[in-house]
Amino acid sequence: MTDTKDLFKQIYRNKFLRPSSLIMFLNKMDIFAEKLKYAPLENFYPEFKKELNDEMTDEELFDVAIDFVKSLFSKIKGNDRRPLYMHTTNATDTRNVGE
């Protein structure tokens, strides 16, 4: 995810894109949900641990993890007023992909 954040920072700060709103798709959410079970996010981002509690369901953990990941990218945006729209998708789910 570090490489992705670095790439996003380059794109977001690109002078040619300054007048543009940006849309970010966090894809493959099914894979992300599975990886959370075997590679806890707090192993890579210790600050994520404070977001957790022992009674969370897998679905609640997933939702909190997504919010955390979105916050990582929002921090790159900082105080910039340019709109950044973030969406989660699963491209294999035809309900998420238009014709």
Dist CA 95 CA 4 (whole Å)? 26
Q: Is 27 annotated among the ligand-binding residues?
A: yes
Residue 97: is its pLDDT beyond 70?
no
How do residues 10-29 score in pLDDT, each as one tens digit? 988 889 988 888 999 999 99
Q: Is 50 annotated among the ligand-binding residues?
A: no
Q: Is 23 helix (H, G, I), strand (E, B) or coil?
A: strand
How do residues 29-69 score in pLDDT, each as one tens digit? 999 999 988 998 888 998 888 778 778 888 888 999 999 99
Class of domain 2-88: alpha beta
> For the residues 63-80, what does the mean pLDDT come to?
90
Q: Is 14 annotated among the ligand-binding residues?
A: no
Q: Is 9 annotated among the ligand-binding residues?
A: no
Tokens of 75: 């921090």
What pLDDT, on a 0 to 100 scale, did the predictor assign at position 70?
A: 93
Residue 99: is its pLDDT beyond 60?
no
What pLDDT, on a 0 to 100 scale, did the predictor assign at position 86?
A: 93
Helix H segments across the chain?
A: 2-12, 29-38, 58-77
Q: Is 91 annotated among the ligand-binding residues?
A: yes
Q: Is 88 helix (H, G, I), strand (E, B) or coil?
A: strand
CA distances from 49 to 29, 44, 72 (A): 20, 10, 14
